[in-house]
Chain A
């Protein structure tokens, strides 16, 4: 009986050790990394491809930051107007139009950047990358959207 109890305890310890070792190994393998390193690993970029993607990223950053500022400004202005006025004014209309104009410009330049980055990748990885961007931007097929809302 004592032997059996010892054996069962040993089996539990072995099970726990097996679990802990594999869990630790696999979690360490998936340690958090920055976005660029993730991109490199996920889309299997070569050193040359990665250097080119980094160059594109550096060139795109000021454009992105500029759009970010414009969007924040337009959004703040619109929300302030909506809070102030109880009636629809030409100024509010202008603010709405500006916000959506800025948003359109943001997404236009972001997509252009994404196409530039995908062109650096191998064809298969490039397609997969663009698919990811389109999915995340919710650029869904309108006919599919109509079907899901019916």
Chain B
């Protein structure tokens, strides 16, 4: 009886503290990345299917063509804006030089005005 009570007392106070699994964190992240990878793969697969099946349909194809054409036009507008600005500055300079005798002298005789 005495032994039993001692044993009970010991069992009450006894605590098990096993060492932490050193791979626990790694294994959790591995499981998460597998889950995520699966979702990404599913999404990519859906995109691929849409591109192969739906995109070549006339309505979508037309939207794509219009989008590319207008993108080209927008890029051309931006590019030529810069050309316009440069031409504007050049014309300004040419006009002022045409009424500036010092600039004219420099141009005519290759002087440094």
Judge whether B42 is part of the interface by a CB distance below 8 angstroms. Answer: no
Q: What is the distance, in angstroms, from B26's C-beta to the closest C-beta of chain A?
A: 41
Q: Which of B55-113 contact A (CB under 8 A)?
A: 55-56, 61, 64-73, 75-77, 79-80, 83-84, 87-88, 91-96, 98-102, 104-105, 108-109, 111, 113
Judge whether B52 is part of the interface by a CB distance below 8 angstroms. Answer: yes
B101 surroundings in chain A (CB, below 8 A)? 64-68, 70-71, 106, 109-110
Task: Using C-beta atoms within 8 Å of the partner chain, give the interface range for chain A.
Answer: 35 or more
Main secondary structure of the interface of A (DSSP, over half): helix
How far is A7 from B56 in the complex, measured between Cα atoms in Å?
7
B79 surroundings in chain A (CB, below 8 A)? 23
Which of A32-40, A80-88, A118-126 lies on the face that meets chain B? A32-40
Q: Are A30 and B96 in contact (CB under 8 A)?
A: no
A14 surroundings in chain B (CB, below 8 A)? 65-66, 68-69, 72
How far is A17 from B101 in the complex, measured between Cα atoms in Å?
46
How far is A20 from B68 in the complex, measured between Cα atoms in Å?
13
Judge whether B32 is part of the interface by a CB distance below 8 angstroms. Answer: no
Main secondary structure of the interface of B (DSSP, over half): helix
Q: What is the distance, in angstroms, from A57's C-beta to the closest C-beta of chain B?
A: 8
How far is A3 from B80 in the complex, measured between Cα atoms in Å?
34
Judge whether B51 is part of the interface by a CB distance below 8 angstroms. Answer: yes
Q: Are A15 and B68 in contact (CB under 8 A)?
A: yes
Residues 126-141 of A, flagged 1 when their CB comes within 8 A of B and 0 if not, give 0000001100110000
Q: Are B105 and A68 in contact (CB under 8 A)?
A: yes
How far is A119 from B67 in the complex, measured between Cα atoms in Å?
49
Q: Are B56 and A17 in contact (CB under 8 A)?
A: no
Q: Are B76 and A22 in contact (CB under 8 A)?
A: yes
Can you give 18 contacting A-B residue pairs, CB < 8 Å?
Answer: A7-B61, A11-B68, A17-B72, A18-B68, A23-B76, A23-B80, A27-B80, A30-B84, A30-B87, A33-B91, A57-B99, A67-B105, A68-B104, A75-B111, A103-B102, A106-B100, A106-B102, A110-B100
14 further A-B pairs in the complex, CB-CB below 8 A; given A18-B71, A26-B84, A60-B99: A4-B55, A12-B68, A14-B65, A17-B72, A30-B87, A42-B88, A66-B101, A68-B102, A68-B104, A71-B105, A72-B111, A106-B102, A107-B102, A136-B93
Residues of A within 8 A of B (CB): 1, 3-4, 7, 10-12, 14-23, 26-27, 30, 32-33, 35, 38-39, 42, 57, 60, 64-72, 75-76, 103, 106-107, 109-110, 113-114, 132-133, 136-137
